[in-house]
Structure 1
């Protein structure tokens, strides 16, 4: 995995502009490994990887048995990828890794709540479109497509194959559309994505990690705000609007202070 360390926002913009067609993911801590939320959950509470497939399969069955109560159309539950996307959307730990086609969206998620250096990962999806892992060159993206019935259980749920698939579910929700989102699905939960990609060989860079210093945050967040990349646009609902207010507290505070000071009388009356 190549690691780049731009020092200014404009440098990051130029570097990612050269990665046309790639997918991006932001991490609020540059030290975090590139693993899904399900991995972190299982490592904490189920340290034996041998039973991870059983636990993941049970979680999906439980969700399917009960989620229909809250759905007007339960057809999403019959499609493995749509079911996982629905689980992820509502806060469940899954093996899906959220990526976006926009480096700016990824940078926003990395920087918005940052208190240390952050990371934006870039995945070379054009190079992976027709690629298969070296250990089995028949396992192309189209063959392992989890949107096809039975493929999620066949290639992913067993947690045995060091491969990945990326793409979108057959039907996308409003948040996924607003974020230009897609999913990356690893075949192994106990290895980070960069290690899994080592199985694909070749001379091309398949994964690039941009480490963005905390000192870049103010400049970057102002630029993203002007681009209308905010929680309000990325989560087009009341939750997103409410979360977007957090940045309003810092983004316009200096101007508010200036307006307040100008509004004060030159010689305030004696309060005594």
Structure 2
């Protein structure tokens, strides 16, 4: 995985033009591995990794048994990827990793609350879509074959925690938050290894993953530009919680001092 340190916001904008069609994930600390909330939780609190598949399956089962009380359309729980998406949306640890098709949305999530080097991970989704990148351990497992939107595939290819593969995409029905964020999900087949290690096991002539480091020095300029682009918590989380969170950035924005190119 190539790592590139960006010195200023203009350089980041220029770099993004060369990554057309890729997917992006922003993380506020460049030292963090590219891991799901489920991976981080289990690594911290469940030492016996042999128990992980059963623990994850039980968590999904409990959510399905109880979430119908709060849903206008409980049938959504029958769709495996939609169910995981709901869990993720409301704060449950899942194996999903949130990515976005917008490098600028990823930059917002990386920089909004950071006080150190932040990072954006760029994933070559065009290569994975074309199946020009295949897992060496199971080259027959194409993106279509793995599709967790197909009934039974989540359990068959992912919950066993045995297939060193990834799939990316969205549920058949996208909620407002996913639409607002230009979001997509990456679903790893194993949860005890970070994403870059899984992709190291892929056969590909193309670069599959890049790490872009954003130093604190560019945060102020970047946040002003993102604000002008209407990339804020209020736009990315279209509800009252998003509006309330967006007020923090308003504390930084002093209109008379804003000048283009600053």
The two structures have a TM-score, normalised by structure 2, of 0.96
TM-score of the pair, normalised by structure 1: 0.92
* Counterpart position of 2:200: 198
* 1:197-251 Cα deviation digits (max 9, x unpaired): 0111223110000000010100100010011100000001111000000000111
Checking the alignment, whether the CA contact within 8 Å between 1:166 and 1:185 is kept in structure 2 is yes
Give the match's secondary structure for 2:121: strand
Aligned residue in 2 for 1:134? 136
2:222 pairs with 1:220: yes
Distance 2:114 2:252 in 1: 14
Counterpart of 2:147?
145
The equivalences for 1:8-87 within 5 A come to 8-87=8-87
Structure 1 gaps of 5+ residues are 256-272
Classify the secondary structure of the residue corresponding to 1:142: helix
SS at match of 1:251: coil
Take 2:17 and 2:74, find their aligned partners in 1: how far apart are those partners? Answer: 40
The Cα of 1:253 is off from its aligned counterpart by 7.8
- Matched length: 256
Other structure's SS at 1:136 match: coil
Structure 2 CA distance for aligned equivalents of residues 105 and 76 of structure 1: 27
State the partner residue of 2:260: none
Aligned partner of 1:258 in structure 2 is none
1:132 and 1:141 in contact (8 A); partners too: no
**Is contact 2:137-2:164 (8 Å) kept?**
no
Q: Look at both structures and tell me which one has the larger radius of gyration over its CA atoms.
A: 1
Mapped to 1, the partners of 2:91 and 2:14 lie a distance apart of 34
Judge conservation of contact 2:124–2:208 (CA < 8 Å) in 1: yes
In structure 2, what is the Cα distance between the partners aligned to 1:218 and 1:8?
10
Whole-Å separation in 2 of the counterparts to 1:180 and 1:143 = 24
Aligned partners of 2:255, 2:228: CA distance in 1, in Å? 16
Deviations 1:6-59 (A, max 9, x none): 100110111111111100000000000000000010111101111100000000
State the secondary structure of the residue aligned to 2:143.
coil
Counterpart contact for 2:134–2:204, Cα < 8 Å: no
Give SS of 1:7's match: coil
Moved more, 42-51 or 117-126: 42-51
Q: Where does residue 167 of structure 1 map in the other structure? A: 169
